[in-house]
Structure 1
């Protein structure tokens, strides 16, 4: 994890690309710290969405230009995602969101499982990578096993991993990073154990994708899911499924729908205008990087962003932790984390803090368990309203971080 601050990060150039950053509230510029719940959209993606709609959209397989152009938009988006995740374009499917895609994939895979088979989920994950698998398990009579959270370390407890992932295991579902507290999960032990017993590794990269370069195959992931609205694009879910799995997948679909992949997972008419915004969102990363290929530009750009974000996140964690009455929920310093900071203030309900920050300081943060409800239960924060969560983004500034720290001091 790169954390050393850099003075040549083009923060002004970055901020100029996000129209939402010009917004004011109560007479002050808005400071957006709600990126983990949905980032602001880069201007090039907004323009691409509007351009698609202005030129006249068309459904697929038509004998007219707007139909051909729609197919080209989808193809370009698949190619961009392929470079983003280092996968094949034909392995990329789009959907309403990650949750909807995961439910569809779980139901399709479940057709091949039988009572007595097992799946593994974790206490740290967003429910979108937990409940679809549990629902499928209940329907098929499968056993659900849980990887527990080490409450002291704020990481997953791997001491019983060999017992949890065994010869009966069919699915191992793990999030790459906690969307609530930022802990980055080392997937290697899960991947190695899953491969040893013949199980599939399903990784939720929704929270990780905006912050970490991802190489699905190098990480030995079989099914990878993320969402474009978390990395500066539209509300579109993305699944990248290994070809050997995808070709045999039998999702629930209409009889007249395509039977070939990736289209067979894309039920109904897709959000074509939203898909038009995916390539520009990914190329935002590439625009900050160097290299010969788009993939190299993306990885390089994300590395520059990582340095900027982590420098600000470290300042925010240290600043908040130094305030009497503030408790920051975080893993140890040597554990990799996304620039996501979860905290509580003694005596003040998290939702009230968010209201106060918005009304008095024009700072936008969110409160709750953020669908990582089991983690909230395990760490005993749900009864007190969960956490206040502040997330850093490529467009975040040092001044905004200091504003937030000062505001919490004043509270």
Structure 2
């Protein structure tokens, strides 16, 4: 499928108020998407509407509470369809992916015993590492690590079968690296782990702005993501298989719901944020039809999401190719991870790079002064940064999402070239 035309991209960008910000007379170019994307107007409107018209706690028998609960039910259903599930009761909301993972890791660890093992990776964001490592420490469980390959910083899956054993209780792995942009073969990893009886926990935070998650295709037991990474507000989303969510013991106050999803959602959630999540998924579902100016007909929301994400992926691949081709001309920079243009399907448009003499912090400062927003440091991919000997400086990270343009990428390349001189 093709990406977006100039006219379609203009229509998309008009929905994001933040894109009108200027720095030193230049339009801001947001390459900080991997740390959190900008938000379209329909999401902002939904949150304002909730706070001004429907704000109420859960379970009330009056108009605003009834309307609020109806919105929450709709949001659970939308998120289930977003991740490829059919049961809205399997969707758990929380403050963020990190908090949700700490909560579920504490519950799962109660089923472990000394001598058991778990598997984590050197590539993951620490939110899918430390919760499991700390839980393993408390339970007397051994932690096994999957390392990365030096040549392209992808997971070294040749180690997986040697690491997996009848003692393996859980494998935690990211769907895509928030540092290198590499997409992991999570369906294959899941199948290999589950053959031995291990649970599989997928961190889809970095994948979800770029590719549509599909828990049925992956076959995993849990999948977590964060709406602020795919054009929504700061809210975490956890999907888990119903049987597991029902059987595990949740840590929570009394009295509180014992049925799903309430069993796992501690305290009152940020209802206005959940309203924004619902609007965000609707924005993504309607994206293809909106830019084409056509009706989506009788398509399901999941089908519409898949169509929109196909357009997003095509557009982002073209941006990634433009960036990688341009970086070939800048000999003092090194792009980490997959750089082979024939392997663009194995990565998303997120790039970490280093300069031979200029620190990542200085690069970020100089880009920021030019209105080009980029991140520096380790971005919580701490184990990878340590593995590469990049602590404490880290790397410079730039990322493109569907509202970024080829002109912005050219501005970025020109600025990197100018800074290099």
Question: Per the shorter chain, which TM-score range?
Answer: over 0.9
2:210 match: 211
1:406 match: 414
Secondary structure of the residue that 2:385 maps to in structure 1? helix
Counterpart CA distance in 2 for 1:238 and 1:265 is 11
Deviations for 1:177-229, whole angstroms, at most 9, x for unmatched residues? 00011010001331112211111110000000110122102111110000000
User: Are residues 1:357 and 2:377 paired?
Assistant: no
Superposed CA RMSD: 1.4
CA drift of 1:57 comes to: 0.9
CA shift in 2, pair 1:29/1:8, >3 Å: closer
Counterpart CA distance in 2 for 1:5 and 1:260 is 43
Q: Where does 1:159-198 land on structure 2 (aligned, <5 Å)?
A: 159-198=158-197
Contact 1:206 1:226 in 2 (8 A): yes
Counterpart CA distance in 1 for 2:139 and 2:258 is 24
1:119 match: 118
2:338 match: 331
Aligned residue among 375, 382, 399 for 2:384: 375
Post-superposition, which runs of at least 4 consecutive aligned residues in structure 1 deviate over 3 A?
Answer: 4-9
Aligned residue among 304, 320, 328 for 2:327: 320
| Larger deviation, residues 64-73 vs 140-149 | 64-73
Aligned residue among 308, 319, 329 for 2:315: 308
Contact 1:321 1:328 in 2 (8 A): no
User: Are residues 1:86 and 2:93 paired?
Assistant: no
Secondary structure of the residue that 1:288 maps to in structure 2? helix
Q: Where does 1:7-406 land on structure 2 (aligned, <5 Å)?
A: 7=5, 10-87=8-85, 88-289=87-288, 292-333=299-340, 334=343, 336-359=346-369, 361-383=370-392, 385-406=393-414
CA drift of 1:9 comes to: 7.3
Q: What TM-score does the superposition give when structure 1 sets the normalisation length? A: 0.96
Deviations for 1:249-287, whole angstroms, at most 9, x for unmatched residues? 211101211111111111011001100001111122211
Structure 2, unmatched stretches of 5+, are: 290-295
Count of matched residue pairs: 407
Q: What TM-score does the superposition give when structure 2 sets the normalisation length? A: 0.94
CA drift of 1:288 comes to: 2.2
Name the structure with the higher helix share.
Answer: 2
CA drift of 1:324 comes to: 2.4
Contact 2:324 2:339 in 1 (8 A): no
CA drift of 1:163 comes to: 2.1
Structure 1, unmatched stretches of 5+, are: none
